[in-house]
Structure 1
């Protein structure tokens, strides 16, 4: 590389918000023996990024300041560590960064959490996949116990906030699992969510804060709950006796609900998702995109110099799909 400096986004403390985001010049990181150095072509912002900045996991994450945020990254490998076997310089990849660092011109990633990106999958599409796609995949397969090969009996599934980053993937993956999908979203996204495969779409503003039974009168066997604005208890009358509710935005309220369900010995199950970036699952999602079976929905793209605008739009909570930042 001509220079050992790069542009990177940093913030210096908890709770600083957009005002504390700065694009600065810092040294290009050096990969460890089991790591690769990636020239970032695209990164995406997830709610966990600005929640960490707000102090969501204080004092454990971020571990130190200043911090370069961002978990999802796609790009080209420019250097590999001494023990890396799967990749070489010039390989196109997508990765989930355990300690952040994606909102920069270069990022270091573990070989174990990095997968190849075929030419059929653009950098922006790949960067939109890791956290949101893996959360959707884990919700359906590990938490709800569904198979994504269509061999399960048809179930009735509700996904809330279906036009968000996780929700858009849940809709599409649930159809691969042979589910009848009812989805809630804002009026402006009804047609989009229908085009992704939802069988029934409900404008959430017409429900008066409730999530009633589907328009066809079905009760839900599974709910993938992707919003914090509606408590899961509003689904209670619309659930089957053995229903599974999976919350992708866990907080204190859902933890108390889980404990209460256990105390009452209900057959209905509530669980939460703490996304684990498993390499084989990310490879599976990339393969689906390559084959045209999964479509990353991209809300907007921003240059790194305008990362504050991208951050603000994400934290506002009304993006349709994923927000991409391109160095």
Structure 2
């Protein structure tokens, strides 16, 4: 829609990835290409920068809360992995034809914006993403991993009998990367 792809090809774009140190966000940063601004907690700023973000905002600072990068440029698209970000904040950060890809569990304002967008002609759009990877997608990601271009950040490992603890930690929303449950 805005002429860019996750493999870094296509038209250049100014992108924002929220919750960039989480399980989905950490992959999105690595696949971002072009100019990537990312938000995360202060303890993960260096990690997210090491994953490839050009600029990292602590989500607790005024800049991070308002999604404002240092250049002042609006984002061509936002990959929103943080469920607490309201549509008003996302919308004000978008370029005129910007797109929000909602990956997190949508909050009420996001759902209403999605429904409203269906019935209006606004150029700023929101899409709720349900990921379904096909064989080619998985092969592409596996090849990036083999080449060392994509890595998995692991927060913690749990044995299967402690899966409930793993789920609780995931639900807190502050894991850094993936939480593994070993079978």
**TM-score normalized with structure 1 length:** 0.52
In structure 2, the gaps of 5 or more residues are none
1:168 counterpart = 2:26: yes
Match of 1:266 among 98, 122, 125: 122
Match of 1:278 among 134, 140, 143: 134
Structure 2 distance, partners of 1:288, 1:224, is 20
Matched pairs, number = 182
Structure 2 distance, partners of 1:223, 1:158, is 5
The answer to whether the 8 Å contact 1:168/1:297 transfers is yes
Q: In the TM superposition, what is the alpha-carbon distance from 1:233 to its structure 2 partner? A: 1.7
Match of 1:193 among 23, 26, 48: 48
Structure 2 distance, partners of 1:255, 1:173, is 26
The answer to whether the 8 Å contact 2:58/2:64 transfers is no
Q: What pairs with 1:1-327 in structure 2 (closer than 5 Å)? A: 146-175=4-33, 179-207=34-62, 210-251=65-106, 252-327=108-183
Structure 2 distance, partners of 1:149, 1:168, is 15
The answer to whether the 8 Å contact 1:162/1:170 transfers is yes
Q: Secondary structure at the match of 2:38?
A: strand
Aligned to 1:7: none
Q: In the TM superposition, what is the alpha-carbon distance from 1:319 to its structure 2 partner? A: 0.4
Q: In the TM superposition, what is the alpha-carbon distance from 1:254 to its structure 2 partner? A: 2.4
Q: In the superposition, relative to structure 1, how do residues 148 and 223 fare at CA in structure 2: closer, same or farther (>3 Å)?
A: closer
Structure 2 distance, partners of 1:149, 1:281, is 11
The answer to whether the 8 Å contact 1:224/1:245 transfers is yes
Q: In the superposition, relative to structure 1, how do residues 271 and 316 fare at CA in structure 2: closer, same or farther (>3 Å)?
A: same
**TM-score normalized with structure 2 length:** 0.90
Q: In the TM superposition, what is the alpha-carbon distance from 1:235 to its structure 2 partner? A: 2.5
In structure 1, the gaps of 5 or more residues are 1-142
Q: In the TM superposition, what is the alpha-carbon distance from 1:311 to its structure 2 partner? A: 1.8
Q: In the TM superposition, what is the alpha-carbon distance from 1:278 to its structure 2 partner? A: 1.7
